[in-house]
Amino acid sequence: MRQRSVGDLMTPAAVSVRPGTTFKEIARVLDEYDITAVPVIDDEDRPVGVVSEADLLRKQTSGGVGNSARDLMTSPAVVAEPGWHAVRAARTMERHRVKRLPVVDGDGRLIGVISRSDLVQLFLRRDQAIQEEILEDIIVRTLDLPPSALTVEVAEGRVTLSGRVERKSLVPVTVRLCESVDGVVEVVSRLGFDRDDTGDHATVHGDPPVPSESQRAGG
């Protein structure tokens, strides 16, 4: 099971500007490439900040001093790495309230940009592809079960699992594995189990509890 990473989803060879790039040139770049923000890189291609449409508008409305990327940018730049899972990138965007992240290599040099629209691709994945990955990679390869052991239904990214597994502890594990599949929005578990191995009960699922001595004695 392979989850798509930032490196898979990013736009490579990202558009960028230098600290000395002027206000008007930045505005032209944003318009020409139809983007809302652009990384500012130094002479070694390392991001030192980001200039967004909001930064340009703020300068215009405030009338502040500064007419170059160096003066306008938000710094330091919040960056991502190509090996990150897409969920980590999404959480970083949310935490810092940004829509795009420069992606850097091991030396900190800009190699691409990942945006919210790139991440949305995960949730446009076909239901059939999601179902096939769950059946083949999770049920067969990971859980070592026959593909007919569980029923997997997928509708608009919503996965419903039905059937029975051998042990109760496998239920949350199976759900978590399915939740990690790209394109899955929600997992609904209707899984039963044959044996409770969690220590809560020493009974087979569905059997009535064994009465205690006091209960049998009427106490």
What's the first-to-final CA gap in the chain, in angstroms?
A: 55
Quick one: pLDDT band at residue 47, thresholds 50, 70, 90? very high
Does domain 6-122 fall under CATH 1.20.140.10? My reply is: no
pLDDT tens digits, 59-101: 777 666 678 999 999 999 999 999 998 888 988 998 998 999 9
pTM: 0.64
Domain 125-195 class? alpha beta
Run of H or E including 126: none
Indicate the domain borders of the chain.
6-122, 125-195
Name the nearest CA neighbour of 72 among 60, 81, 83, 84: 60
| Total residues belonging to the chain | 219
CA triple 189-174-120, angle to 5 deg: 80
Quick one: pLDDT band at residue 2, thresholds 50, 70, 90? low
- What pLDDT does 64 receive? 61
Place of tokens 């999770």: 138
Mean pLDDT (whole number) for 140-144 = 93
pLDDT tens digits, 155-190: 988 999 999 999 999 999 999 999 988 888 899 999
Specify whether the backbone of 48 is left (phi greater than 0), alpha (psi in -120 to 50) or beta.
Answer: alpha
- What pLDDT does 78 receive? 95
Quick one: pLDDT band at residue 130, thresholds 50, 70, 90? very high
Percent residues over pLDDT 90 in the chain: 66
Mean pLDDT (whole number) for 202-214 = 43
Name the nearest CA neighbour of 6 among 121, 116, 83, 111: 83
The span from the CA of 163 to the CA of 170, in Å, is: 12
Strand partners, 190: 162
The span from the CA of 174 to the CA of 133, in Å, is: 13
Averaged confidence pLDDT in the chain:
87
Name, in order, each residue with C-beta under 8 angstroms of 128's C-beta and a sequence gap of 6 or more: 154
